[in-house]
Structure 1
Amino acid sequence: MQPRKKALIAAAVGTVLGVTGLTFVAMPAGANEQPPELPAVSAEGLVQSVATAKAPALRGTVAVNESLGLPAGLPGVGSLDLQDARVWHDGQGRNRLALKQGSGEHTVVQDGATVWRYDSGDNTATKLTLPAGKQQQREAEAGDPAAMATQLLGAIRESSTVSVDGTARVADRAAYELVLTPKPEERTLLREVRVAVDEQTRLPLRLKVLTNGTTEPAFEVAFTEFVVEPQPADLFTFTPPAGAKVTDKAVEDHQPGEAGKLAEQLAPKTVGTGWDTVLTGTLPADALPGGKLPQSVPGERGAVDVRQLLGQFAKPVSGPFGTGHVVTTKVGTALLTDDGRFAAGAVPEQVLIEALSAK
């Protein structure tokens, strides 16, 4: 089996075991501080205003807290240790994002026609030239609570009961508390999603995901600083540091990162909608010798024992789909079969079994 395919298996196993952690520090009003008094607003009106809100010129600092319940020692969990992120918008479609992780920083700068990506860890930069009129903001908004919350609202709005639960103060700004609760027919491990919406800009300032049986958020991302004001123009241009290795690409030549390459290989599909959506897929046939997962694959520090990894972090399971292993966290469940199929979602184990068993 080719090394590339072996590496794909290792990545897929890690993805399935950790996917529930990958699919999702605020400043609320203090104990002695009264929530802000704001004009009444309907839940539907608040949702619509969020959907149509445009980011003004602003700068902000974002913090992430997570208690996903991932198994201790699970490979790849360290990659979730995002220390902080800083975002800037010029109000005209230009953005800058700086993600600090460990001793390095990943910077993305979009000026409308060009996207720069720079990794200080290995001093490499990629310049991506976009076709005229084409905007690619998703990467630059990856660490932005406003973008994350807006996308989530679009995905679960129709399968949710929506309400406004008072007000809060986040990043020293007055906000409405928008709450989305799964409808009774939804089968999910999540209890509710809470979005603090800025009263003035209607941008989400904080996103909380709460699970059944817990009082603390399993995942929380929020602005700790949010300042609406004009930003210096030089923030939205980028000059590679001295000695940096620079790669120039047109959008047609742009190759996805490792996560994107993995997604292309696995060709995932979704089963269901809303809160109980399940992501399913199958490893490529040439990555499965004899139609089964191999015993081991090469890793950065030598061979990785796939069977031992699954045995350590997952539970054996069987059903109409065959046999495999399942791992459950606070926010979701993932299942990998012995013949290379997988399913994952913020749902109980039985929902994954049904998704894999469906014809």
Structure 2
Amino acid sequence: MLRRLPIYRLLLLVGLVIVAGVSATAIALALGSSEKPPQRPLAQAVHDALSAPAVEGVSASVTLTDHLLEGASLASGSGQGGEVASNPLLAGASGRLWIAKDGRARLELQAEKGDTQIIYAGSTLSVYDAASNTLYRYKPPAADTTASPPTPGKSHETPSVAKVEEAIAHLSKHATLSGATPDNVAGAPAYTVRVSPKQGGSLLGGAELSFDAANGAPLRAAIYSSTSSSPVLELAATQVSFGTVPDSVFSFTPPANAKIEEIATSTTDAHASLPHKYDTGAKPKLTTHGSGPAAIAVLESKLPAGKSGSSAALDALPKVKINGANASELRTALGTLLSFERSGVRYVLAGSDTPATIEALARGL
């Protein structure tokens, strides 16, 4: 004979049943979302990705990991160094990413002091920093109109598996490639490929790319240092969907009081925008020392007599001594930047090398 349950116990029992059902459903969905694609040779996986029908668009939740400047001292008297270090592009953040079929893209990174927006609308690249209420705008040079236009109706030919194998063999002369490792990114079956330089001696450890096994869409990209197994830089999707992205996504209007910074790239524009004290009429000299990933670039710029080429950005960096001269040094997980002046010449050294290696070369110049 069945006992009658008090109403509160009956409600409790019903609640437990519902919770158990929801939990079981969530577990089933989680298990289903961890599906990985079958093992395939790298050439075959790449060929299949390239030959897959193009998606109409990508909408994704993403996470940006950035340890590039972790531990680097950027503090300055004005406090700008702290603002730079807390920028989501340098500190890492979560956000949203949209990519249209025609190449337009928008990345939105969320931060406590305001979101950072990066928008490529087809002809202009815009970066809006809410913390400083500044919009940076860059318009790439116009394409060469003398080039032959594409033939109407002619589609891009996907390289054969043999051609892909040939390209992999050529790249393997300089780098070590992993196979197409079955993976799962943002709930989608994917393949992950790692590329590492064969030549040692640099801080560059390698790079990884994960792409959707069904359509070839990139789902994760990461760069590693040779001193750590964790990525220095990583942009990874946590949720992803495919379909047409509305045009309104790529439209952005900054606040009415925002500062607008137009970025010049042509030699003429950049030269004209320089202060008079930097205008020496002499072209900077660029040389490289070493080869491969460990190569160091050295830029030498002649300064006007009695003038200094220092800047607030360089002055905020930590200082080291190079043959008695004060040098500004930026140390990152992937390389080092060093700048100093001597005998009317400013030297800037940069490379994917340790500070000790860069400083040793600087002392020998």
Greater CA radius of gyration, 1 or 2? 2
1:170 aligns with 2:181: no
Alignment of structure 1 residues 191-340 onto 2, 5 Å: 191-238=205-252, 269=286, 271=288, 274-282=292-300, 285-286=303-304, 289=306, 306=315, 313-318=318-323, 324=327, 328-339=331-342, 340=346
- CA drift of 1:165 comes to 5.8
1:91 aligns with 2:101: yes
- Report the counterpart of residue 26 of structure 1 in structure 2: none
TM-score normalised by structure 1 residue count: 0.59
| Aligned-partner Cα distance in 1 for 2:40–2:223 | 24
3-state SS of paired residue (2:231) = coil
**Unaligned stretches of 5+ in structure 1?**
1-29, 135-152
- CA drift of 1:173 comes to 1.5
**Unaligned stretches of 5+ in structure 2?**
1-29, 76-80, 146-167
| C-alpha contact (below 8 Å) 1:130/1:250 kept by paired residues | no
Aligned AA for 1:218?
A: V
Aligned AA for 1:78?
A: S
State which drifts further: 49-58 or 201-210: 49-58
Residues 213-251 of structure 1 deviation map (CA, whole Å, 9 limit, x = unaligned): 433223322122222112223223445666767899999
| Aligned-partner Cα distance in 2 for 1:67–1:248 | 28
| C-alpha contact (below 8 Å) 1:88/1:231 kept by paired residues | yes
- Report the counterpart of residue 122 of structure 1 in structure 2: 133
- Report the counterpart of residue 147 of structure 1 in structure 2: none
Residues 254-306 of structure 1 deviation map (CA, whole Å, 9 limit, x = unaligned): 978xxx989x99968473554224343245514x846x776xx668xxxx9x4
- CA drift of 1:202 comes to 2.2
Aligned residues, how many?
290
State which drifts further: 190-199 or 268-277: 268-277
Q: 1:277 to 1:174 in 2, by over 3 A?
A: farther
| Aligned-partner Cα distance in 1 for 2:265–2:309 | 35
- Report the counterpart of residue 6 of structure 1 in structure 2: none
Aligned AA for 2:352?
A: A
| C-alpha contact (below 8 Å) 1:177/1:194 kept by paired residues | yes
- Report the counterpart of residue 105 of structure 1 in structure 2: 115
Aligned AA for 2:337?
A: A
Aligned AA for 1:169?
A: N
- Report the counterpart of residue 38 of structure 2 in structure 1: 38
- CA drift of 1:207 comes to 2.4
| Aligned-partner Cα distance in 1 for 2:64–2:359 | 32
3-state SS of paired residue (1:234) = helix
State which drifts further: 345-354 or 334-343: 345-354
Q: 1:278 to 1:175 in 2, by over 3 A?
A: farther
State the percentage of identical aligned residues.
Answer: 20
| Aligned-partner Cα distance in 2 for 1:352–1:129 | 33
Aligned AA for 1:62?
A: V
| C-alpha contact (below 8 Å) 1:68/1:329 kept by paired residues | yes
- CA drift of 1:330 comes to 3.3
TM-score normalised by structure 2 residue count: 0.58
Residues 49-71 of structure 1 deviation map (CA, whole Å, 9 limit, x = unaligned): 57999664111232222334643
User: Residue 81 of structure 1 is aligned with which of 76, 82, 91?
Assistant: 91
Q: 1:48 to 1:119 in 2, by over 3 A?
A: same
- Report the counterpart of residue 3 of structure 2 in structure 1: none
Q: 1:220 to 1:160 in 2, by over 3 A?
A: same
| Aligned-partner Cα distance in 1 for 2:104–2:293 | 33
Q: 1:314 to 1:159 in 2, by over 3 A?
A: farther
Residues 5-61 of structure 1 deviation map (CA, whole Å, 9 limit, x = unaligned): xxxxxxxxxxxxxxxxxxxxxxxxx99x97713240326963995799966411123
- Report the counterpart of residue 174 of structure 2 in structure 1: 159
| C-alpha contact (below 8 Å) 1:315/1:327 kept by paired residues | no
RMSD: 5.1
